Amino acid sequence: MSQQTKQSESLMKTYNRLPITVEKGMGSYLYDTDGKQYLDFTSGIATCNLGHQPLAVKQALTEQLDSLWHCSNLYNIPKQEELASLLTKNSCFDQAFFCNSGTEANEAAIKLARKWSGKESIVTFTNSFHGRTLGSLSATAQTKLHEGFGSLLNGFHFLPFNEYESLSKIEELKPAAVMFELVQGEGGVRPANKEWIDELVTTCKTNGILLIVDEVQTGIGRSGTLFAYEQYGFEPDVTTLAKGLGSGFPIGAMLAKSSVASSFGPGTHGSTFGGNPLACAAGVETIKQVTALLPKIREIATFFEQELRELEQSTPSIIEIRGLGLLIGVEVENAAPFVEKLREQGVLILTAGPNVIRILPPLTVSYEEIQHFITVLKDVFEQQGAVHQ
Ligand SMILES: Cc1ncc(COP(=O)(O)O)c(C=O)c1O
C-alpha cells in the first residue's frame, strides 16, 4: 500500500479517511506527500477561512510564541481581552467566554441557558448539528448520531426546521432557549427562511426565551458578513463560534449579552486552555483580516453564485443551489462520486448528507480559482452525460 492510501493502525477509526496524505498547505492549495497540488474548497471544513498559512496570522502567532504560550485564567491575559473586545465591538454581544472548539462553545451555551433560566428545556431543530460531546450531541437533532451512547442530556425537544408549526409548539413548551444554525451546514446546507426566523424571533422575545445562534460554521465571514445573524436582522442573546475564528488554530467562543452572561460567575464554568494566548493571537489577527475583507467576500460570493447558476442552466441533474455567502450547497441525486471525481482532477470538496455537494472555498479565493473550479465541476457533470451542450 502506498503512503497515500495507508491508514495508521494507531489511530482510532473515527474518520473514513480519503487516500491523500497532506503535507503542506499554502493559500488556496493543499499539497500531498507526492507533491500533488489540490485546490482546497473545503477550507478544513470552514476553518481555514483566510486560506492556508495566512501571513498576518502567522506573524501574530510567531510574535506570541516569543512572549507567552499559556497562562492560567486566574490571571489577566491581554490577548484574550483584545479578542473579546474585538468580538464584542463587531457584534451585538457584550461579553465572551473562550474555549477550544465548537462543541465546547455549545456546551457553554447550554449551561448558560440552564443557569440563566433555572429551566432544563431547550428546543433545537431537525437536521441540526451542534457537536459530539454529550451535551451538544443531545442538542443535535440527528438521532443516528446518538445511537450506542445510552441516555443523553434531558430537556431537548426537536422540532421541524423552517416549519411554522414549530412556533406554536415553542409557545406551548416555553423552553429556556431555542438553539439553531442559520444555515444548517452538516445537515445539508439549508438556510433558514427569513420570514420563519422573523416569527421565531418574535415568539422567543415575547415569551422570554433565549435565542442561541450556533455560528460555528456560518461565523467569521463565511456567510458574507462577520456573523450570519446580521443578514437576518435580529440580535441573538447568545452565539457560539469556533472553526474560522483561529484560521486553523484551535479556539472556540461563546458570546452573550450581559443580561445573560451575568449568570456565569467565578467557578460556574471554565477551561484550562480556553483563551490560550496563542489561540487568541490567531483570533485577533483573523478578525482584523476578515472584517477588512468583508466587501470583497460578498463580491466574490455573488460571482461564484452567478457561475453556478449558469452551470445549472445546462445541467438538469442539479436539483438546487443554496447557501449563504461562501457556504454553498449543490443538491444532486448522489453527491459522493463528485468528491472522488473532483479529487482526481486536483480539487477538494465536501458533501453534506447523501445528496449535497458542499463547497467551502477560502474567503480569499480568486476569480480565476472559481473559474477553474467551475470548469472542473462542469467536466465531471459532462462525464456523467449530465450537461446539455
Ligand atoms: C454548526 C456546528 N456546530 C458545532 C460544530 C462542532 O464543532 P467542533 O467540531 O469544533 O466541536 C460544528 C462542526 O461541524 C458545526 O458545524
Residue 273's domain is classified under what CATH number? 3.40.640.10
Closest CA to 273 of 248, 251, 242: 251
Q: Within a domain: residue 320?
A: no
For ligand 1, residues with CB inside 6 Å are 101-103, 106, 129-131, 181, 185-186, 214, 216-217, 242
* Whether the predicted pLDDT of 128 surpasses 50: yes
Domain that holds residue 280: 55-289
**Which of 104, 107, 129 has the most ligand 1 atoms within 8 A of CB, as the residue to mutate?**
129
Say how many domains are in the chain: 1
| 383 CA to centre of ligand 1 in angstroms | 34
> If pLDDT is split at 50, 70 and 90, which confidence band does 2 have?
low
Is there a domain that residue 71 lies in?
yes
Q: Which residues of 230-241 are buried (b: 16+ CB within 10 A; e: fewer)?
A: bbbebbbbbbbb
- 154 C-alpha to center of ligand 1: Å? 21
Compute the C-alpha angle 257/261/262, nearest 5°. 120
Q: How far is the CA of 103 from the centre of ligand 1 (A)?
A: 6
Of the residues 183, 215, 217, which should be mutated to test ligand 1's pocket, given the most ligand atoms within 8 Å of the CB? 217
Residue 50 covered by a domain: no
Residue 331: pLDDT band with limits 50, 70, 90: very high
Instruction: Work out the pLDDT band at 4, boundaries 50, 70, 90.
Output: low
Hey, which of 42, 243, 271 would you mutate to test ligand 1's pocket, going by the most ligand atoms within 8 Å of its Cβ?
A: 243
Instruction: Taking residues 224-241, report their average pLDDT.
Output: 98
pLDDT > 90? residue 275: yes
Question: Does residue 342 lie within any of the structural domains?
Answer: no
Is 181 part of a structural domain of the chain? yes
Q: Could you report the per-residue pLDDT of 335-359, keeping only the tens digit for each?
A: 999 999 999 999 999 999 999 999 9
Residue 8's pLDDT is 86
Q: pLDDT tens digits for 158-187?
A: 999 999 999 999 999 999 999 999 999 999
Q: Report the nearest-CA residue for atom 3 of ligand 1.
A: 130
Residue 380: inside a domain: no
Ligand 1 atom nearest to CA at 106: 4
| Chain segment 30-71, per-residue pLDDT in tens | 999 999 999 999 999 999 999 999 999 999 999 999 999 999
| Three-state secondary structure string covering the chain | CCCCCCCCCCCCCCCCCCCCCEEEEEECEEEECCCCEEEECCHHHHCCCCCECCHHHHHHHHHHHCCCCCCCCCCCCHHHHHHHHHHHHCCCCCEEEEECCHHHHHHHHHHHHHHHHCCCCEEEEECCCCCCCHHHHHHCECHHHCCCCCCCCCCEEEECCCCCHHHHHHHHHCCCEEEECCEECCCCCEECCHHHHHHHHHHHHHHCCEEEEECCCCCCCCCCCCCHHHHHCCCCCEEEECHHHHCCCCCEEEEECHHHHCCCCCCCCCCCCCCCHHHHHHHHHHHHHHHHHHHHHHHHHHHHHHHHHHHHHCCCCCCEEEEECCEEEEECCCCHHHHHHHHHCCEECEECCCCEEEECCCCCCCHHHHHHHHHHHHHHHHHCCCCCC
186 CA → ligand 1 middle, Å: 8
**100, 103, 356, best to mutate for ligand 1 pocket (most atoms within 8 Å of CB):** 103
Residue 334 lies in a domain: no
Is the pLDDT confidence value at 1 over 50?
Answer: no
Q: Give distance in angstroms: CA of 129 to centre of ligand 1.
A: 7
Contacts of 326 (CB under 8 A, 6+ apart): 222, 223, 224, 297, 300, 301, 304, 359, 360, 361, 363, 365
* Separation of CA 190 and ligand 1 centre (Å): 15
Give the per-residue pLDDT at 376: 98
Whole-number pLDDT of residue 281: 98
If you measure from the C-alpha of residue 102 to the centroid of ligand 1, how many angstroms do you get, rounded to a whole number?
A: 5
Instruction: Give me ligand 1 centre to Cα 216, in Å.
Output: 6
Query: Which grid cell sits at 99?
Result: 474555549
% of the chain beyond a pLDDT of 70: 97
Instruction: Examine residue 255 and state whether it is found in any structural domain, yes or no.
Output: yes
Q: Predicted confidence band at 264 (pLDDT cuts at 50, 70, 90)?
A: very high
